[in-house]
Structure 1
Amino acid sequence: MGNLGKQSALLTVIALIGINALAADCEPTWESLQTVAIPEWVKDAKFGIYTHWGPYSVPGYKGNTYIAEMYTTPEKDKEGYRKFHEEQFGPIETFGYKEIVDQFTAPKFDAKEWVDVMESGGVKFAGLCLAHHDGFALWDSEYTTWDSMDRGPKRDLYGEIAKEVRKRDDMKLLATFHHARSYGFSQKSAKNAGFTDEEKAKLDIFDPKYADIYFNPDYMTKEQFGLEWQNKVNEVMRKYQPDMFWFDGLSGSIVSGVINEDALLNCFADYYNNGTPYVEQTVIANKLPGTTLWNFPVGFGLRCYENGRDMERDVRGDWLIDRAIGYPWTWVRNKTYKQKASYHIVSIVDISARGGVMLLSLTPKGDGSIPDEEKKIMAGIGAWLRVNGEGIYSTRPWKVVEEGVTGDELRVVRENRKKPGVIQAKWGFDQLEQSKGQAFRFTRSKDYSSLYVHVVGVPESGAVTIQTLRTGNVAKNGAGIASVSMLGSDEKIDWKQTDEGLMLVFPEVLPCEVSYTFKVTPKAGKIDDAPREKLDDPIKRKGDWPVFKGSPLG
């Protein structure tokens, strides 16, 4: 049955979810939802993974917005999508995006292998992007035939991943949704391409019988789309019980009336109240888009910065950075990987020291295989974490975050190239990756019994002096240091603490590459628990949240 024929049954689902939420502790209001704290398991995890993968991976051309770019005229085809498409598949009039979906059979998809690769990288939560802007659902949905069970692979892709994740004792399940933007997305280029009525009549995206897969506003109302969107999210919550949700594109969709805010609040309250059997508390990410308007009101959920975009210099509280293992966000033909395992490793070190979590996206091929280079990168990250994980997992920021290469060098503030006059901040970790013993990061155990000193790179002299760790500045009440060791090494570490700093000598045999973790144990049993240093950061705040323009919802 098509999407538009299922609406009456869906109203019942929304009503039931609202009853459940109202009967629980957390009410379906932003004010009530803002009181839910970020759970410890997320803070402890430090590293998660998902994917950008779908029918757009079959052509593998430039990115994941293929459906929005291919329907254009030759004169408007500046990025060459139509030209590429017609050379590879045939005329857009006879071979549309729905035919690409039929080629998305994913013969090499193996859920166990995928989760094995994820686990090899040392991640603590994992999942898929269940639907991108094309709206194609990678699960077995009752609310659409535009899904992986009815089309393409004829398999419940997310269901298979979920089963494999649940077999791992130390891994939680993630679900990400990007399909709030699907309403009208396939017509993005076409509506400005200058197609005549005769030309439109030959294109499937303008055919009303395909309104339930192309989400054409001319034939599907906002209310119909919003109801379907909401019920898909509710369905995944009930059917697969993911421990964490991440959403893209909701701020604009709620303001424009595409997504119903009351239904969304009921959904979120139900999710927080009922949770899953696998964690003490579920969590929802709150993304900061390029508009600098948070998806949801300030203070709700785990705030998320895409690749560190617009993240403040003095970042505080609980937060997450998401980015691709290699750009663009999806697999493309002849893809290259500028950032190797070492880049992602130093990113994890820096992000952990500041109190954040890194969420990485794999970019599998259209046939369902994970590129060899991505397997190699994941294996490299995992090998490092197996040696240094004690200084990353379950740690918290110390009173001092950094010494040497600082955030002032990693964070670049400049004018947005696409929006003249708009200032944008971007974070990059290239300078940190290039360190040869000049960059230091600090993390601590939750009980303050251990300080972890991360030295990025090996100095030519084989020794470093860290000024932050001078006499009286490490242990509580200045009691001094009892011992120093390097994670992964059995060699005795030579060290000396003076008024100038803590001198550390590297062992002859190094246990890993890229970054090295010294474990400092204080004499008094506790390291200094003084408040974290304050930096000069001009961004206005509300608690630990940067406000920017707030949220369109409050």
Structure 2
Amino acid sequence: MQFSITYSETIMIKAIKLPLTTLAIAVMSLSSTSALAEKTANIEADWDSIATKQIPEWLIDAKFGVYTHWGIYSVPAHGGPDYVRQMYSPKNRKGVYEYHTKKYGSLEEFGYTDFIPQFTAPKFNASEWVGLMNEAGAKFGGIALVHHDGFLLWDSKYSRWNSKNMGPKKDIYGEIAAEVAKYPDMKLAATFHHGRTFNYAYGELSDKGADASKINKNWEISDPELGDFFWKKGRDSEEQFNSDWYGKITEVVDTYKPDFIWFDGLSTSMKGGHPTEDNVTKAISYYYNESAARDQDVVVANKLAANFNFPDHVGLKSYENGRDMPEHQPGYWLADRAIGYPWSYVNNKTYRDGPDYQVDSIIDFASRGGIMFLSLTPKGDGSIADEEIAIMKGIGRWMKVNGEAIYGTRRYSVYGEGPTKVTKFVKIKGKEKVKWDHRKLGAKDVRFTQKDNTLYAIALGWPEDNKLTIKTLNSDYAISSEAKIENISLIGSDEKIKWHRDSKGLHLVYPEKKEGEFAHAFKIEVAGDLIVTEPDAEHIKKS
């Protein structure tokens, strides 16, 4: 709420005639009103203004969040969430066209929208989904509310193609949001992928510049009556698509009040595509201002695709499974990943990586300033695969014991040490890219986090000889203002840790009884103040 000058002056004039205590209350009221007005009118619809919004401390504290990829595409369960794009492209590399026509018949007989009556999700249970996220230790959780196909998982007035109106006949996101609210230590996440919906269903036909005559007139994507779902360039209104895109974002902001929003497919907006850059800046500034008005500290993730969705000084930098992510970078950032590939559930899905891989990734990312955003891939009926449940529970077991070395911590002067490289350069389409892999980390690899007067050294395995030397923390290393370690303990163990420090490193002896699984966090308490300097990339590379 904002008062005009005239109204403020009137209040002050009246207050002068009141007793001192009443006057003080009036002044305090005006002061808080002014502060609120400042909160609600800060962010304008331009990138430099949007960039002034800082990353919330709660998100840096959280370190770990979970969401889902789930929708109509989960019913055929083949290829991944791009099913609609691939089924109309006979030459697509995942064989979706062949799979579809063999199982469901020709595209004239059975189109993508014919899956919607099958998408009833009888086993969907928001309490179970969010309960599993919480059990895994996620501090923020939610779902992908809409993927590239454009089907909405909330009750929306901007599209008839939504889960309340058809399919499950439920406000899926509304139920998820209500469950997240039951956990005081969890924040609500929302991801939007419909920036790519315009012309998306035309797949390779569109990519190769094919004109309308090359698209079968009997396919449902050729039906103008379905143009509000299969948005087609040259047929359907670009202005309406842009307006609806904006309306969908602001509708979710107003109705469900997410704490964290992540967008996919908006890099084209910066190049004159859809939605327009104008609509994107308006939507983000609206989100920031409306959230500030209710004293909610929120953030937008800035995903790197071919380039960042937004200018690179805007929001929280976000990397898909570390794709194109430099090994050493300043500040805090986010990496998202599917619990098992592809990005949605498919028939006979296999899971290459267990909870140990996910835990090692969370630890390594946290040591480098990263926040992990993991995606579940529920089945078409709304249930979650047993393998995914087991992985999530494994992460949760580790986080429950060792969470203090992750939650609320900040990056240390050095991220860690050890023989295993987690990044390498690979050539993709002729370009050299950074690829991340945490599968080979072991007992000699150590990662650091810090909080208050405590340094955490997390070893990513249990050595056969029960001994660990941390070279970085040798006696010449300035660890605290008093250059002294007071105590070292292993989180989860009651045994006293034997240790000594010399010029070659900090030497630790593990307990006789092996405790915990996956990784092991040593808690190093120092005398005086822990010395923390800005991480130095050159120092990191040499360590």
Q: Same fold (TM over 0.5)?
A: yes
Q: Distance in 1 between matches of 2:38 and 2:100?
A: 47
Instruction: Answer yes or no: is the 8 Å Cα contact 1:39–1:280 preserved in 2.
Output: no
Q: Do structure 1's residue 64 and structure 2's residue 81 form an aligned pair?
A: yes
Once the two structures are TM-superposed, the CA of residue 23 in structure 1 deviates from its matched residue by: 6.7
Task: Give the structure 2 partner of residue 250 of structure 1.
Answer: 266
Where does structure 1 differ by over 6 angstroms across 4 or more consecutive aligned residues?
A: 20-23, 193-196, 276-279
Q: Are residue 380 (structure 1) and residue 394 (structure 2) matched?
A: yes
One-letter amino acid of the counterpart of residue 161, structure 1? I
Secondary structure of the structure 2 residue equivalent to 1:528: coil
User: How many angstroms does 1:303 deviate by?
Assistant: 0.3
Question: Which residue does 2:275 correspond to in 1?
Answer: 259
Describe the SS at the equivalent of 1:152: coil
Report whether the alignment pairs 1:423 with 2:432.
yes
The alpha-carbon distance between structure 1 residues 260 and 530, as it changes in their structure 2 partners (threshold 3 A), is: closer
Structure 2 residue 91 is the aligned partner of structure 1 residue 88: no
Q: What is the CA distance between 1:223 and its match in structure 2?
A: 1.5
| Contact 1:475/1:523 (<8 A) preserved | no
Report the equivalent of 1:552: none
Match of 2:66 in 1: 49
CA-CA distance at 1:477 after TM superposition: 3.3
Q: How does 1:217-296 map to 2 (within 5 A)?
A: 217-275=233-291, 280-289=296-305, 291=306, 293-296=307-310
Cα separation, partners in 2 of 1:95 and 1:304, compared to 1, 3 Å: same
Aligned counterpart in structure 2 of residue 395 of structure 1, from 383, 396, 409:
409
Other structure's SS at 2:155 match? coil
Q: Show CA shifts across 1:383-414 (max 9, x none).
A: 000111000000011111111135xx211112
The structural deviation recorded for 1:476 is 2.0
- Let me know the Cα RMSD of the aligned residues: 2.2
Q: Equivalents in 1 of 2:266, 2:55: separation in Å?
A: 20
Structure 1 residue 132 displacement after superposition: 0.5
Q: Which runs of 5+ in 2 are unaligned?
A: 1-36
Q: 1:194 to 1:468 in 2, by over 3 A?
A: closer
Measured after TM superposition, the shift of residue 355 of structure 1 is: 1.0
- Could you say if the C-alpha distance between residues 224 and 474 of structure 1 is closer, same or farther in structure 2, counting changes exceeding 3 Å? same
Task: Tell me how far apart the structure 2 counterparts of residues 394 and 260 of structure 1 sit (CA, whole Å).
Answer: 37
1:7-46 paired onto structure 2 within 5 Å: 24-46=41-63
- CA deviation after TM superposition for structure 1 residue 166, in Å: 0.6
Could you tell me how far 1:197 is from its partner in structure 2? Answer: 5.0
* Corresponding position of 1:531: 534
Write the mapping of 1:294-333 to structure 2, written as runs, cut at 5 A: 294-333=308-347
Letter in structure 2 aligned against 1:119: N
Which of 344, 349, 361 is matched with 2:375 structurally?
361
Indicate if the aligned counterparts of 1:223 and 1:258 stay in contact, CA closer than 8 A: no
How many residue pairs match? The answer is 504
Q: Deviations over 1:350-408 (max 9, x none)?
A: 000011100000000000000010000000000000111000000011111111135xx
Letter matched to residue 538 of structure 2: L
**1:25-80: CA deviation from partner (whole Å, max 9, x where unpaired):** 2222211111111110000000001111100010111211110111245xx46643
- Letter paired with 2:468: V
Shift of 1:95: 1.0
Q: In 2, distance between residues paired with 1:84 and 1:21? A: 56
**Contact 2:250–2:286 (8 Å) recurs in 1:** no
User: Following the alignment from structure 2 to structure 1, what is the Cα–Cα distance between the partners of residues 506 and 190?
Assistant: 44
1:280 Cα deviation (Å)?
4.5
Which of 517, 521, 524 does residue 525 from structure 2 map onto?
521
Identity across matched positions, percent: 44
Residue 339 of structure 1 corresponds to which residue in structure 2?
353
> Is the alpha carbon distance of 1:475 and 1:140 closer, same or farther for their aligned partners in structure 2, counting shifts above 3 Å?
same
* Corresponding residue of 1:457: 461
CA contact (8 A) 1:242 1:276 kept: no
- Structure 1 position 274, deviation (Å): 2.4
The one-letter code sitting in structure 2 at the alignment partner of 1:231 is G
Larger radius of gyration: 2
| CA separation of 1:496 and 1:426: change in aligned 2, threshold 3 A | same
Is 2:522 aligned against 1:508?
no
Aligned equivalents of 2:177, 2:272: Cα separation in 1? 33
Give, as a single letter, the amino acid of the residue that structure 2 aligns with 1:158.
Answer: Y
- 1:404 corresponds in structure 2 to 418
What CA deviation, in whole Å up to 9, does each residue of 1:119-171 have, x standing for no partner?
11100000000111101001110010111011111110011000000111110
Counterpart residue number, 2:447: 441
Equivalent-residue separation in structure 2 for 1:370 and 1:513 (angstroms):
24
Distance 1:77 1:325, change over 3 A: closer
Residue 23 of structure 2 corresponds to none
The reply to whether residue 207 of structure 1 matches residue 223 of structure 2 is yes
Corresponding residue of 1:16: none
State the partner residue of 1:490: 494
- For 2:502 and 2:459, the matched residues in 1 are separated by 19
Letter in 1 for 2:432: I
Counterpart AA for 1:29: D
Q: Tell me the TM-score normalized by structure 2.
A: 0.89
- Does the CA contact (< 8 Å) of 2:120 and 2:168 recur in 1? yes
Letter of the 2:235 counterpart: Y
Three-state SS of the structure 2 residue aligned to 1:348 is helix
Structure 1 CA distance, aligned partners of 2:439 and 2:89? 38
Residues 330, 535 of structure 2: 8 Å contact kept: no
Rate the CA distance shift 1:443–1:537 in 2: closer, same or farther, 3 A.
closer
Q: Secondary structure at the match of 1:200?
A: coil
CA distance in structure 1 between the partners assigned to 2:412 and 2:460 by the alignment: 17
Separation in 2, partners of 1:458, 1:400: 22
| Aligned equivalent of 2:24 | none
Question: 115, 120, 136: which is aligned to 1:100?
Answer: 115
Q: Measure, in 1, the Cα distance between the counterparts of 2:178 and 2:220.
A: 36
* SS of aligned partner of 2:168: coil
The residue matched to 1:126 in structure 2 has which SS? Answer: strand
Structure 1: any 5+ residue segments left out of the alignment?
A: 1-19, 539-554
C-alpha distance in 2 between matches for 1:22 and 1:247 = 24
1: CA distance, partners of 2:365 / 2:89: 42
Asked whether 1:151 is paired with 2:154, we answer no
Work out whether residues 414 and 540 of structure 2, in 8 Å CA contact, stay in contact via their aligned partners in 1.
Answer: no
Distance 2:294 2:333 in 1: 22
Other-structure match for 1:167: 182
* Residues 379-388 or 189-198, more deviating: 189-198
Taking the aligned partners of 2:212 and 2:289, their CA distance within structure 1 comes to 52
CA contact (8 A) 1:319 1:356 kept: yes
TM-score by length of structure 1 reads: 0.87
Secondary structure at the aligned position of 2:67 is classed as strand
Counterparts of 2:141 and 2:317 in 1: how far apart (Å)?
18
Q: Name the CA distance, whole Å, in 2 between partners of 1:69 and 1:219.
A: 21
Contact kept in structure 2, 1:105 and 1:152, CA below 8 Å:
yes
Q: Distance in 2 between the 1:442 and 1:479 partners?
A: 18
| CA–CA separation in structure 1 for the residues paired with 2:513 and 2:440 | 25
- Give the AA of the match of 1:480: K
Q: 1:276 to 1:367 in 2, by over 3 A?
A: farther
Aligned to 2:25: none
Distance 1:487 1:366, change over 3 A: same
Structure 2 counterpart SS, 1:375: helix
CA shift, 1:277, in A, is 8.6
Confirm or deny: 8 A CA contact 1:323 1:360 kept in the other structure. Answer: yes
